[in-house]
Structure 1
Amino acid sequence: MLTTHAVQVAERQTVLVPPFGGQKNHSVELQSLSLSKKGRHDCEQNAVAIFCPQTAQILTTLPGHKSSVNCTHWLPSNKFAFRAKQLEQHFLLSGDADGAIILWEFSLTDKKWGKVLDVPKPQKKGVTCITGIMVSKYEAIFASTSSDGTVNVWEIIFPSTAGGDCQLSCLQSLYVGSKPMVALSLAELPGKDGCMILALGGLDNNIHLYCGERAGKFVHACELKGHSDWIRSLDFSLPICTNDQENTLLLVSSSQDKGIRLWKMVLHDSLDNTERKKVKSLASYIEGPVLVVGSSSYQISLESLLFGHEDWVYSVEWQPPSVTSAERTGYLQPLSILSASMDKTMMIWQPERTTGIWMNVVTVGELSHCALGFYGGRWSPNADSILAHGYGGSFHLWKNVGVNFNNWQPQKVPSGHHAAVSDVAWARSRDFLLSVSHDQTTRIFAPWFNEGCLTNGDSWHEIARPQVHGHDINCITIVQGRGNHCFVSGAEEKVARVFEAPLSFLKTLSYATSQISDIHEDIQRDVRILGANMSALGLSQKPIYVHATQETRDRNGGEGPDTLESITDAVPVTLTEPPIEEQLAYHTLWPESHKLYGHGNELFSLCCDHKGRLVASSCKAQTASVAEIWLWQVGSWKAVGRLQSHSLTVTQMEFSYDDSLLLAVSRDRQFSVFSIKRTGADDIGYELIARQEAHKRIIWACSWNPFGHEFATGSRDKTVKIWAVENGSSVKPLLTLPPFASSITALSWLGLDRTSNGGVLAIGMESGLIELWGVSARSEPPGTIAVLASRFDPFMCHVSTVHHLAWSNSEKNEGCQRTQLASCGADHCVRVFNISVG
């Protein structure tokens, strides 16, 4: 949810790569860095992402769900951490759109995650909300709601020692009607041991209260009316002590009516009529129903109405309790509420000390025009930070850095794509990674070496968002020649677009790589564009020049800007630390320098040769005339060739490492090899030297051997085949790898040993798994061999289709000891694996 963007080591795994053609063994160490985040739910987002706010990095992802993950809940949560100090594990519940709930375990000793169990699935539709409480240090009660109108209550007993089993039992299943509940909260009633109260809210605008014994049945007690639109969030406080007695419980609710309501439940015998008349609060005049539980009764009243948000209030949450030994209960419940709204703000509400009237004391928000509001907010355990998540999965974190006063400042958070990531490419300098997605953005991730508190330079962040487009972006290629950083992207339109790095990015990259004095100095002298502005339609990005004012006057005959398009709204700046979402969304754009017209349908694949002279492009096609490959001259960006061979979409292309051959694979199950010759400064000669039906199903991927003219193809028929170009005129098969369990969707070949043509072939599958195979030539008997070197741990891999794989130094790297493999997938993730070869 790659998804922000700092990341951290998720797993390490050491394997032994078998000998390559009798050469030495190669030890491969895998270190996974996940550049993802949980974003907008769709059928591919089936994992739970765990990120650490302190380091702003994704720690790991938890695969296991078969549909979108709708909700999660910690056991123990921040509210009940004081009751679970003896637990050696923490647990996480996650519910998905199919109605499944999974219990995950995190070991506090070895920092490992594991799947504990699948909660039995009585729901027929998706889980909408989960809440739970710790009733003792080893026992918890949790409830889940579903869009099928049912609410299930469960009891779970955790093991007292590491390695023990959890005991799970279903206490009750409630049917709440045809209008689903989307919010719930669970609490223990004060002054009555073993009794609990369950609050439900949803589409009927009312809050339904159910009461029951811990091991008994919940019965409907009453309804709280007042909201005029859907209930979005509910949260009980911990019991509040008055005169050394726990006699009060507070419930806060929020709604799409833009209001927040605070409900008070007081044990009836704890407040007589005389004392009630002395209380100066809204509750003195607006009394609700009386809640009867056995021999006890609770007076419910409306404590306060909180208005301040200008749009739907999606979540409310009580500040986590502070642990204190002075209190009889061991905790102190602060009277402080956090709310998050679609108006792009979060607010903290507290009662005034003198009047008791609840007031808004803190307001923070997102000012970017790109933000569409907050879908939820959370406190940190010690309440010094607050986190919001918004449309597109964006995170927004503020921390109170004031000593004697409130001073909430934005902090770094993970960021990433919120739709399928379709392609990924390394910069020729290997300093950064570029990815494109169906969320209509292009993003740049890089390790920020300038952070002194982090080691090994593995603090990955999103440092720029060079393209924000109006169409889903399908493919990308980085121009590998000398000069300024340049890339070409193709989207669901018939045009390929060329972008060049502005001066603000080059300087930011210098800070990120800790090479401020010398990196890109020559390039920076020649770059006169500072940044870019987004046009009104969100397609083309206009340049902002270093001397924008002077150039604008010259362009308009000495007059000031006379059109809205020439007004520079964006403020491109040199970033000296990883940027936050507001900066990324608008101030890190790259200018568009050229548009490449010619294709008849939306672009599907792009590639660039290794000298940076030619770019090849293909589009979706159903006929041979549309399926042709176009060649573009880098610099002039003229079309210099139209290669015809296939009858359906060309799915991937790649130039050989000497740039003499172009390989293409297609949906028509064939591959083609073209000879590419430069006959003059601007003249390109090309010839089809081989075309062959190679697989029984669509061919999705291909990759060249960096040390020769061998290449690999991968197909939906679950096979990978290796071929060789002989004498520059024909192709022969060398090897077919054993069948895989899933369709092959991505390939990338790393060269390691020139003498044996040895290398490592990375293979990505539709299932999300990734494998490394050692490929080499043998002398006796002569031939090519391939042996499985590593099968990545599923916790390191994608949870759905791997779309692309790319080695950071995929060129001739004889004797290399360390490299990186990048992958992207339909699960919205970009992942980076550190691989050591020894």
Structure 2
Amino acid sequence: MSGNKEESEVEVKSVFIGAGCNRVVNNVSWGASDLVSFGAQNAVAIFCPKTAQILTTLPGHKASVNCTHWIPSTKFAFKAKQLDRHYLLSGDTDGAIILWELTLAGKKWRQVLQLPQSHKKGVTCITGIMVSETDAIFASTSSDGTVYVWELVLTSAGGECKLSCLETLFVGSKPMVALSLAELPGNSGHMVLAMGGLDNKVHLYCGERTGKFVHACDLKAHTDWIRSLDFSLPICNDEANSILLVSSSQDKGIRIWKMTLRGSLTNNQGTYRKEEISLASYIEGPVLVAGSSSYQISLESLLIGHEDWVYSVEWQPPSITSVEETTYHQPQSILSASMDKTMMIWQPERKTGIWMNVVTVGELSHSALGFYGGHWSPDGNAILAHGYGGAFHLWKNVGVDVDHWQPQKVPSGHFAAVTDIAWARSGEYMVSVSLDQTTRIFAPWQNSASLTDKESWHEIARPQIHGHDINCVAIIQGKGNHRFVGGADEKVARVFEAPLSFLKTLNLATCQKSSFPENLQVDVQILGANMSALGLSQKPIYVNTVQETPERNGNDGLDTLESIPDAVPVVFTEPPIEDQLAYHTLWPESHKLYGHGNELFSLSCDHEGKLVASSCKVYAYNTKCYFCFKL
């Protein structure tokens, strides 16, 4: 640039971030800041449930992120009202743990430090509690058979965090995969650490806030691996000397354990008082000794209802019980998430005290393999799940007098490496393909109801759900310029046509008041597509066929393995959720382009959109093979 001209500055800002959640049990955490963190490959992603947008990603890990945990978490949201900084812990498959800081005023993130004492193998769980507004205790466990306990002194204005390792516990050859920390009631300064793992037992360790955790006792009842543990806060105001521990296992069961203060060991007078036995009677277990106090442990309840492994259990966060917001109450409500594709809310009946399942929500997708975790919002009015396919599911209680849980919008994205992206020829949307074997379309939804007037990006269609890793994509000429060709490891390039349902949805997303062109109704007679059993060929669903749907109970309507009969194309008036994307947004396949003998890895189209060039791998000579197709 010549010296006579002033240099122009280009402003670059992030408009949209799409990412899927890593397939790990303890990967997601909902914090008191009302933000959700999760691992997306080697990065930590942060999304806002209110706007259904991923706000930022935090790079720093050199390996895939296994788990995240907020300090303070939703359990201690009542202690976080005066905090101007929140903290986040994240652990990866290399054993590294990083501490992040969020300044609420400017929504600014910074990496505070990486814990100096790293695990030798992948971190499997991180848990922490707030012992005061400036002090937190957290623990981490790994498949290397060690558990670290740390103290974190939170920063003041302009200061730095102070971190110190309180204890290192060696648990043996069977590592722990679930942790939970709590302060013992009626015994200030003492804490209890529950851990569970591959030996089917819940191990309890007692320690002081200064460290020195010692093994106290074991809880034996589960018959398979322990997957999740969570302590409640003192269960209610009139029972301040008791806390509850909930545990879930691969034996499909959930157990609630009660820890009640018996009294001081130095008191010679009879301090142990037998509690009244109700219909919800419990089985007495071992006695936990912490310092000069002892606690009677008992099995309070066994919850049976899930049909598969229960990966996650979590107590509902405390609620405010006074106008001054100085007292709180621990709700008797537990959220569980299972591989049976459901989440359940459990509560005791008022009269009998028997724990019952009061709410059940779930995922209907045929391709889903269940939930890896479930989490409460800070106010307890929303629940979030993440599943095997890297997708989120959010339900909100919109009922007034009666609970009524409705699904909400959430961010989405690929949960494996993105191999190629392409802009639509009209520039209205973006197509991406990935090693997660899906093709996705992202577009700005201008008329979506959001907290801001700005347009928000969402996944509006999932045109291809494949049986092979997809490596490349190219947009080509078609009716309305909505046609693409994709290449995968199967050595065949496939051409997909935009159906009528997508064209109408795209029109609603990009034009607030414009009417749908009626001529497209005549030109495009394909409403959507059905998925085959093996996830390869997607067959078209014609407009007239949908209007004359046969009865499913009759012989003509028998379900076959050739297609999923429930896949009915839908025109969406708002961004679709995960179940809708997986079922109702497929595109029909119009052509197969043969010729390659190995995996396709690159596609390109000319400016007119009529010629497509493709290339594949040739292993024998370490060269490539190229083809050109005319459409």
TM-score by length of 2: 0.91
Letter in 2 for 1:106: L
Q: Which has the higher contact order (CA 8 A, sep 6+)?
A: 1
CA distance in 1, matches of 2:563, 2:422: 32
| Superposed displacement of residue 268, structure 1 | 0.8
- Among residues 13, 16, 19, which one is paired with 1:36 in the alignment? 19
Which residue of 2 is the match for residue 467 of structure 1? 464
C-alpha contact 1:440 1:471 (8 A) present in aligned 2: yes
Letter matched to residue 31 of structure 1: K
> Would you say the 8 A contact 2:390–2:415 is kept in 1?
yes
Q: Do the aligned partners of 1:417 and 1:439 also contact (CA within 8 Å) in 2?
A: yes
Select which of 388, 397, 407 maps to 1:391.
388
Match for residue 83 of structure 2?
Answer: 87
CA contact under 8 A between 1:422 and 1:474: conserved in structure 2?
A: yes
What is residue 331 of structure 2 aligned with on the other side? 334
Q: Deviations over 1:471-498 (max 9, x none)?
A: 1000000014664411000000221100
1:141 aligns with 2:123: no
Opposite residue 204 of structure 2, the aligned amino acid is: L
| Alignment deviations for residues 296-351 of structure 1 (CA, whole Å, 9 cap, x no partner) | 11110000000000000000000000133479973211111000000000010111
CA contact (8 A) 2:447 2:512 kept: no
Preserved contact between residue 209 and residue 222 of structure 1 (Cα < 8 Å): yes
Residue 522 (structure 1) shift: 3.7
SS at match of 2:522: helix
Partner of 1:352: 349
Which position in structure 2 is the counterpart of 1:182? 177
CA deviation after TM superposition for structure 1 residue 128, in Å: 0.8
SS at structure 2 position matched to 1:133: strand
Rounded Cα–Cα distance in structure 1 between residues aligned with 2:512 and 2:623: 46
Look up the SS of the partner of 2:508 in the other structure.
helix
- 2:261 matches 1:261: no
* Greater displacement, 481-490 / 261-270: 481-490
Output the CA distance in 2 between the equivalents of 1:577 and 1:157. 45
Q: Which amino acid aligns with 1:276?
A: E
Tell me if structure 2 keeps the 8 A contact 1:40–1:419.
no
Partner Cα separation in structure 1 for residue 143 and residue 215 of structure 2: 19
Question: Equivalent residue for 2:196?
Answer: 201
Tell me how far 1:514 sits from its aligned partner: 1.9
Whole-angstrom distance in 2 between the partners of 1:589 and 1:294: 62
TM-superposed deviation, 1:126? 1.2
User: Aligned with 2:246: secondary structure?
Assistant: strand
1:576/1:146 Cα in 2 relative to 1: closer, same or farther (>3 Å)? same
Alpha-carbon spacing, 1:134–1:526, altered in 2? closer, same or farther (3 Å):
same
**Identity fraction in percent:** 71
| Whole-Å separation in 1 of the counterparts to 2:154 and 2:394 | 32
Q: Distance in 2 between matches of 1:103 and 1:357?
A: 41
The residue that corresponds to 1:597 in the other structure is 594
Contact 1:603-1:620 at 8 Å conserved across structures? yes
User: What SS is found at the alignment partner of 1:135?
Assistant: strand
Tell me the residue number matched to 1:627.
624
2:487 counterpart SS class: strand
Aligned to 2:13, what secondary structure does the other structure show?
Answer: strand
Of 154, 157, 181, the residue aligned with 2:153 is 157
| Partner of residue 173, structure 1 | 168
Match of 1:224 in 2: 219
Using the TM superposition, give the Cα deviation of residue 273 of structure 1 relative to its aligned residue in structure 2, in angstroms: 6.7
Aligned to 2:232: 237
Q: Which residue of 1 aligns with 2:59?
A: 63
Q: State the distance in 2 between where 1:86 and 1:431 align.
A: 44
Alignment partner, residue 303 of structure 2: 306
Q: Note closer, same or farther for the CA distance 1:418–1:379 as it changes in structure 2 (3 Å cut).
A: same
- Cα distance in 2, alignment partners of residues 608 and 101 from structure 1: 45
Instruction: Measure, in 2, the Cα distance between the counterparts of 1:424 and 1:250.
Output: 50
Give 1:466-545 correspondences, 5 Å limit. 466-480=463-477, 483-514=480-511, 517-518=514-515, 521-545=518-542
1:59-93, CA deviations, whole angstroms, 9 ceiling, x for partnerless residues? 00010001111111100111112223332100000
2:9 is matched with: 27
Shift of 1:21: 10
Distance 1:537 1:106 in 2: 45
**Per-residue CA shift, 1:248-305, capped at 9, x if unaligned?**
010000000000000001111499776524544322xx10001111221111000000
Partner AA of 2:69 in structure 1: H
Taking the aligned partners of 1:632 and 1:375, their CA distance within structure 2 comes to 44
- Say which SS state the counterpart of residue 35 (structure 1) adopts: coil
Alignment map for 1:531-610 (pairs within 5 Å): 531-548=528-545, 564=560, 565=562, 568-610=565-607
Counterpart of 2:611 (choices 599, 609, 614) is 614
The one-character-per-residue Cα deviations of 1:625-663 (angstroms, maximum 9, x if unpaired) are 9734211111xxxxxxxxxxxxxxxxxxxxxxxxxxxxx
**Deviation of 1:455 (Å):** 4.6
Which residue in the other structure is 1:678 paired with? Answer: none
Q: Which runs of 5+ in 1 are unaligned?
A: 1-18, 554-558, 635-838
2:413 to 409, 412, 416: 416
Q: Deviations over 1:543-600 (max 9, x none)?
A: 00000168999xxxxx967994488531001011100100111211000000011112
In the other structure, the counterpart of 1:445 is 442
1:601 and 1:626 in contact (8 A); partners too: no
Q: CA deviation at 1:146?
A: 1.0
Structure 2 equivalent of residue 646 of structure 1: none
Residue matched to 2:36: none
The question of whether the paired residues in 2 share the 8 Å contact of 1:320 and 1:379 is answered with: yes
Compared with structure 1, are the counterparts of its residues 307 and 549 closer, same or farther at alpha carbon in structure 2 (3 Å cutoff)? closer
Alpha-carbon separation, structure 2, partners of 1:83 and 1:347: 27
> Which residue is 2:94 aligned to?
98
Task: Report Cα offsets for 1:759-794 as digits up to 9, x if no partner.
Answer: xxxxxxxxxxxxxxxxxxxxxxxxxxxxxxxxxxxx
Letter of the 1:468 counterpart: I
User: Matched residue of 2:244: which SS?
Assistant: strand
Residues 1:354 and 1:452: Cα distance change in structure 2 (over 3 Å)? closer
The DSSP-based 3-state class of the residue aligned with 1:31 is coil
> In 2 relative to 1, CA 551–623 (structure 1 residues): closer, same or farther, beyond 3 Å?
farther
Report the residue type matching 1:76 in the other structure: P
Once residues 403 and 298 of structure 1 are traced to their aligned partners in structure 2, the CA distance between those partners, rounded to angstroms, is: 40
Distance 1:409 1:328, change over 3 A: closer
The 3-state SS of whatever aligns with 1:276 is coil
Name which of 347, 358, 361 aligns with 2:358: 361
The aligned counterpart of 1:639 is: none
* Superposition RMSD in Å: 2.5
Measure the CA separation in 2 of the matches of 1:452 and 1:191: 48
Say yes or no: does 1:48 pair with 2:30. Answer: no
**Residues 200 and 605 (structure 1), Cα distance of their counterparts in 2 relative to 1, 3 Å cut:** same
Alpha-carbon shift at residue 39 of structure 1 (Å): 2.7
User: 2:376 pairs with 374, 379, 384, which one?
Assistant: 379
1:506·1:524 contact (CA, 8 Å) conserved in 2? no
Map of 1:281 onto structure 2: 280
CA distance in 2, matches of 1:340, 1:563: 30
Change (3 A) 1:407 1:427: same
Whether the 8 Å CA contact 1:37–1:58 is kept in 2: the answer is no
| Paired position in structure 1 for 2:34 | none
Structure-2 separation of matches of 1:563 and 1:342:
25
Q: Which amino acid aligns with 1:28?
A: V
| Structure 2 runs not aligned, ≥5 long | 28-38, 265-269
AA at the equivalent of 1:138:
T
The DSSP-based 3-state class of the residue aligned with 1:184 is: strand
Counterpart residue type for residue 287 of structure 2: V
TM-score (norm 1): 0.69
> In the aligned structure 2, how far is the partner of 1:206 from the partner of 1:514?
58
Structure 2 counterpart SS, 1:316: strand
